[in-house]
Structures are given as C-alpha cells and as structure tokens.
Structure 1
Amino acid sequence: MKKSLILTCLVSSILSLHSCDFSKRIDTSAAVKEMKNRQVKRILPQDITNKADTWGQEIQEMIENPSNKLSLDSISKQFQIQIQSGKALALKQQNKDKKIQEVLDALDYSLSLHQEIPPSIQKNTVGDSLFYIFIDKKQDVILLGFSKSQIVLNIDKPLIK
C-alpha cells in the first residue's frame, strides 16, 4: 500500500510538472514597461500653460527673425494655431471674447504710455484657449491663439506625469 501511495504521488507530481510550460515565461521588465506605457497619464494645467509659453517664444523668435521668409499665414498653418496681428484697437474689434478685449485695452493704454510690455499668456473667457501675446518692433500686437486640446495632443511625453 505504501509503495502504491508513493508511486501515485510520484506520478501525479511528474504529470503536474509536465503540464507546466516553462518555455512561455514572461519577461517581467518588458511587462512593467508595457504597463507604464499603457498607464493613464495626467497633464496638469501648468504643463499646458508652460507648453503654450514655450511654443509662443519659439514662434515669436521665428516671426521676429529677419531671415524668416514665412508669412504669418504659413506659420499659422505649420503650427496649427491662430495668429492675429495689428494695432490693439483694431484687434479688439476683431475679437468678441470679453477677456481678450480687456487685455487689448490694457495693452493699448500701456503702448500709449510707451511702456515696456513683456510677452504674456492669457486665457479666453471660456478657458478652452490660451493666447501668447507680444508686441513686435513696429508696435503691433501679435496674438498667438493655442487651443488647449491642440496643446494636449502635441505635448512632450516627459512632461506627462
């Protein structure tokens, strides 16, 4: 009886080990990388603002570069943004957004006092767009309009938390 019990245990152990397929082992480091890549990412509001500021500075340099041969329309199409240029009062009439109109009023007043105006980022009233605003050498106001959804689609991967 003892021999048959031992034999039964031995046979069942061999069968259970035989049913395990060790050839299909998973590389755990690759699995961890895959899980991190598929993880839901979070983009913070300051990441969106920082990216709009960075893009605005790059586009401002491109616009102000004397060797630049691109028009504002072609830059607008290239970066998929809205660009408006002109005197503050003329731009105020073109924009229906109340918050942007207030900013343009303030810019017109500051320009009339010949003040130094640094570039700035402004949100529209709804909050779905950001505007990078700067003054060019001709004292024209340049509005670069960035849609938040466009920024999120093109944001750098390292910024995503």
Structure 2
Amino acid sequence: MKYVTLLFALFAVSACDFTKRLDTAAVVKEMKSKQVKRVLPQDVVNQVDTWGQEIQAKKTSKLDSATKALQISVRVGAPVILKASFKDAKMIQIMDALDYSLSQKQVIPPSIQKNTAGDSLYYFYPSETGKITVLGFAKNIVIQNMDRPLIK
C-alpha cells in the first residue's frame, strides 16, 4: 500500500507543470487596468472646465495644437454669426442670450453648456473685442482623454 501511495504522489507531482507559473502581482495589475471604470457626468464637466480654462489662458498660436490633440471644434465670432453654425435649438437659444447680454454691455463669464442630445459640451468665453469663442467637446473623446486617476 505504501508503494501505491508513493507511486500516486509521484504521478500527481509530475503532472503539475510549474514552468508556467504566473506572477500574481502582474496579473492583478493587468486585471485592474482592464476593469470597467465609472465616469460620473460631473467628472466630465469638471474636465471640460479645466481644459477650457487652460485653452482660454493660452495664446492663439497654442490653441491649434491643444484643439487638435483633444479633437475640439473651435468657433469664434459674434453670437449672431455663430448662431448660423449651430443646428441644435438649445445652442441657438444660448447664442441669442449671449447676443442680448453683449448688447446690454453685461459681463459674460465663461460657461459650459450641453447640447440637446447631451453628447457634446461647449465651453463659451468672451473676448475683449465682443466676440465669443466656443470650444466644442465630444463627450466620448473627453472620457477617453481624461486623466486615469480621475476615473473611479
């Protein structure tokens, strides 16, 4: 009986292949990197606000490189002219409101607005010449380019 038990134990040990042992720390790290992340709507708005402020602070020459990297659409002009470039009813109303505010000589702070569908965010800021700059961000591109530590 001893020989049978010993023979069985040797067979069991020889059947195990220890050459393909995985590094568990590396496997855990890879699993966490592929884990589905949750992005809250407020996180997206905060990221657009951060990028919009950075772009607003930069000079016009640096605006092109920033907008290409993040695939941002840029529109600059008087609200009446910009109104024609939008097809979304909500954005047209916003352009009308901006035009009225400029005609009343009101101070217009930078703001973020969503389109009707909610798939794009727009960062508005005025210039000293009375023109409005509109930065258009696609929501899915924002999520792809967000800092990874911000994603929960």
Same fold (TM over 0.5): yes
CA distance in 2, matches of 1:22, 1:75: 51
Q: Note if 1:10 corresponds to 2:1.
A: no
**Do the aligned partners of 2:76 and 2:132 also contact (CA within 8 Å) in 1?**
yes
Q: Deviations over 1:72-120 (max 9, x none)?
A: 6666445422111111222223322211111122222222232222100
Return the TM-score normalized by structure 1: 0.82
**Do the aligned partners of 1:134 and 1:142 also contact (CA within 8 Å) in 2?**
yes
- How many residues align? The count is 152
Cα 1:74–1:14, aligned 2, differ >3 Å: closer, same or farther?
A: closer
Cα 1:16–1:60, aligned 2, differ >3 Å: closer, same or farther?
A: same
- In structure 2, stretches of 5+ residues that fail to align are none
Q: Superposition pairs for residues 34-49 of structure 1, below 5 Å?
A: 34-49=30-45
**Do the aligned partners of 1:122 and 1:131 also contact (CA within 8 Å) in 2?**
yes
CA distance in 1, matches of 2:87, 2:110: 21
CA distance in 2, matches of 1:74, 1:159: 23
**Do the aligned partners of 1:73 and 1:83 also contact (CA within 8 Å) in 2?**
no
Match of 1:51 in 2: 47
Match of 1:98 in 2: 89
One-letter amino acid of the structure 2 residue matched with residue 122 of structure 1? Q
Identity of aligned residues (%): 50
**Do the aligned partners of 2:74 and 2:133 also contact (CA within 8 Å) in 1?**
yes
State the 1:53 CA deviation: 1.2
- In structure 1, stretches of 5+ residues that fail to align are none
Return the TM-score normalized by structure 2: 0.86
Superposition CA RMSD, Å:
2.1
CA distance in 1, matches of 2:81, 2:54: 25
User: Aligned with 1:101: secondary structure?
Assistant: helix
One-letter amino acid of the structure 2 residue matched with residue 96 of structure 1? K
Greater Cα radius of gyration, structure 1 or 2: 1
